[in-house]
């Protein structure tokens, strides 16, 4: 563990952010898996929303978000 006060704070913030990122990424994966298990317009909308949310928070890049949304939309068409 760090001795310097600022590095202790930074370590705590890193842990907190890691938990938030992990939860957000898990929600994204869950939404996508729910759509793949039972494709429907409603599930597609939820998956797109989760992908957009992850993109806006910087969890995934814009190109990956677009690619994932396109692949999901192709499955329902």
What residue ranges define each of the domains in the chain, with the CATH number in brackets? 5-76 (1.20.58.110)
What's residue 23's pLDDT?
Answer: 97
Q: What is the pTM of this model?
A: 0.86
Token pair for residue 28? 């994204």
Residues 6+ apart with CB under 8 A from 2: 8, 10, 11
What's residue 2's pLDDT?
Answer: 84
* Residue 49 DSSP one-character state: H
For the chain, 77 residues long, give each residue's pLDDT as a single digit of tens. 789 999 999 999 999 999 999 999 999 999 999 999 999 999 999 999 999 999 999 999 999 999 999 999 999 87
């Amino acid at each position: 563990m760090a001795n310097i006060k600022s590095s202790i704070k930074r370590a705590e913030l890193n842990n907190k952010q890691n938990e938030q990122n992990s939860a957000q990424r898990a929600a994204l994966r869950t939404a996508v898996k729910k759509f793949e298990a039972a494709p429907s317009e409603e599930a597609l909308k939820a998956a797109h929303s989760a992908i957009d949310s992850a993109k806006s928070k910087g969890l995934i890049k814009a190109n990956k978000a677009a690619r994932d949304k396109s692949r999901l939309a192709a499955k329902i068409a």
